Chain A
């Protein structure tokens, strides 16, 4: 499981938790990747 810090519009930051394969899918596409500020493995 990964903790992802995600940048929403209007300077809102959200912490979301996602599985490895989900994160990999998000990182594959620029539109989602560029909004991910950081991520770290938590479990």
Chain B
């Protein structure tokens, strides 16, 4: 006898339908799972047996062949436990299916028959929602699944409950969530720019960076507040729109980072991977491809502390997502694309010991060590960082003083205003912020008046700004003018923008 139950598999951020076929034969007892299952799917045999027996059913005798179709794509994860168990109960006629066919069943089983949550429910429901109208999901995933309108989400706690529902013995009303209420109830970040003592010019530069989506490099000695400042950047960025929140939630869902964090990610992500992270950890991939840190920072901030301590190849792989806003991972059998529109905030010491250029302490690094340290940052990578900033050590009076300055809320208002101007400017374009302007757009939108042009020329000559700094200064000046709500870029905007190219003017000191 043969029974078919629908389930799903994830490929990247998309899902496709998987048919779980269970066939029983009167042979010596045994089971085989076919259809390219990975180890976690193969192990479901033992979970399913225990769950069936501990749920008050009888583990059916005979030989079971379980096929996960289509058979030419790899299946991974424990999400087939529940459909396999239900299939075995149906095929052994311990339950009789009364509910309509076409229901998609997803869930991991514990040995006592409880249904455990799984990863990737949101992308599955989004992809299958148009074709299938009913999904049986673990209760803990119900809110996430119900974010997708137009499908009936049936939450179940246990195998027994799922079996009773399929047999028509119990009724479970479809789970609903109020997306607007969920979206409105954004948790507070719990940190604020007003907490930071001193560093007025850095706060201002980070406001400009958040307004224009510019990547930032913070250079300063240990304890100068680089990490503290970076962690507060999401608090001044505009809130996520519902569409953005759903996209971020999909990425968190497939990676399994959503458990315990609610059904919807409503705050901008802030990811801070350790400098020992591998290139696959940063960019994504692996045997079974997963989104990397650049994708988990989508619409948020990727903070790389101790920037030169990252492996050279890790730093170099950042170049493509910084340019394209997405990552494509190619494998022999398929190619996956994950979004990666993030703001890069990198922080580093000026030298390995951190005391270079510090008047109060003497540096113990040799010139060769300092050169080696800086050489890890390639020119093409630095080229993608619009704002380079010095973060000096705080003075004694600043450390003992109370924190002063504007709150994140006040700064965010200006940032949102500037972003609004940019979204109007780039309507119909592929970009959303000044940082992503191409040379043609720079020419069109960054027109300088005579005075501004003279200041820029003079700064380039006297401060020895490099040729590449020219476009960067123009882009940043455009953002500064947007923060003031001005259509034209003026001299004061250029004067400020030239201050954010610390490394271009170093004149070979490093």
Residues on A close to B: CB < 8 A? 6, 8-12, 14, 16, 18, 22, 25-26, 28-32, 35
Query: Can you give 9 A-B contacts (C-beta < 8 A)?
Result: A6-B462, A8-B463, A9-B389, A10-B219, A12-B506, A12-B509, A29-B491, A32-B455, A32-B495
> Of A6, A9, A32, which one neighbours B390 at CB under 8 angstroms?
A9
Q: Which residue of A lies closest to B501 (CB)?
A: A9
Q: Are B495 and A31 in contact (CB under 8 A)?
A: yes
State the Cβ distance, B52 to closest chain A Cβ, in Å.
68
Contact indicator A18/B458 (Cβ below 8 Å): yes
Chain A nearest CB from B357 CB (Å) reads: 4
Q: Which of B63-81 contact A (CB under 8 A)?
A: none
Which residues of the partner chain A approach B219 to less than 8 Å between Cβ atoms? Answer: 9-10
CB-CB nearest in chain B for A17: B462
Residues of A within 8 A of B359 (CB): 11
Smallest CB–CB gap between A41 and chain B, Å?
17
B498 in the interface, Cβ–Cβ < 8 Å? yes
**Contact between chains at A25 and B491 (CB < 8 Å):** yes
Contact of B505 among A8, A22, A31 (CB under 8 A): A8
Contact call A31/B499, Cβ cutoff below 8 A? yes
Q: DSSP class of A's interface residues: helix, strand, loop or mixed?
A: mixed
- Report the separation of the CA atoms of residues A18 and B454 in the bound assembly, to the nearest whole angstrom: 13
Please encode chain B, from 469 to 510, with 1 for each CB lying within 8 Å of some chain A CB and 0 for all others.
Answer: 000000000000000000000011001101100100111010
Q: How many angstroms from the CA of A12 to the CA of B509 in the assembled complex?
A: 9
Beyond A9-B502, A22-B454: 9 further Cβ-contacts under 8 Å?
A: A8-B506, A10-B506, A12-B506, A14-B463, A26-B458, A29-B496, A30-B492, A31-B495, A32-B459
* Given A11-B359, A28-B491, A32-B498: A22 and B458 interface contact (C-beta under 8 Å): yes
How near does chain A come to B356, taking the closest CB pair, in angstroms? Answer: 8
Complex Cα distance A37/B437, Å? 35
Measured between beta carbons, the chain A residues less than 8 angstroms from B491 are: 25, 28-29
Task: Give the distance to chain B from A11, nearest Cβ to Cβ, in Å.
Answer: 4
Interface string of B294-325 (1 = CB under 8 A from A): 00000000000000000000000000000000
Most buried by A among B454, B459, B505: B505
Min CB–CB distance A39 → chain B (angstroms)? 12
Check: B269 CB closer than 8 A to any chain A CB: no
CB A22 to nearest CB in B, in angstroms, measures 5
What are the 9 tightest A-B residue pairs by CB atom distance, in nearest-first order? A9-B390, A29-B495, A9-B502, A31-B495, A10-B357, A16-B462, A11-B357, A31-B496, A32-B495
Contacts of B350 in A (CB 8 A): 10
Contacts of B389 in A (CB 8 A): 9
CA distance A12 to B129 in the complex (A): 61
Closest A residue to B391 by beta carbon equals A9
**Interface flag for B43 (CB, 8 Å):** no
Interface assignment of B451: CB less than 8 Å from any CB of chain A: yes
The one of A10, A18, A28, A30 in contact with B462, judged by C-beta atoms closer than 8 angstroms, is A18
- When chains A and B are docked, how far (Å) is the Cα of A8 from the Cα of B459? 12
Interface string of B364-396 (1 = CB under 8 A from A): 000000000000000000000000011000000
Question: Whole-angstrom distance from the CB of B377 to the nearest CB of chain A?
Answer: 15
Instruction: Report the bound CA distance from A14 to B454 in whole Å.
Output: 20
Q: Measured between alpha carbons, how far is A8 from B389 in the docked complex, in Å?
A: 11
Partner of B502, one of A10, A22, A29: A10
Please, which residues of chain B bring their CB within 8 A of the CB of A6? 462-463
Smallest Cβ-Cβ distance to A10: which chain B residue: B357
Q: In the bound complex, how far is the Cα of B350 from the Cα of A18, in angstroms? A: 30
Complexed CA–CA distance, A26 and B463 (Å): 12
- A25–B491 alpha-carbon span in the complex (Å): 9
B247 → A minimal CB distance (Å): 37
- Distance in Å from the Cβ of B359 to the closest Cβ of chain A? 7
Q: Which residue of B lies closest to A35 (CB)?
A: B499
User: Given A25-B451, A25-B491: A10 and B390 within 8 A (CB)?
Assistant: yes
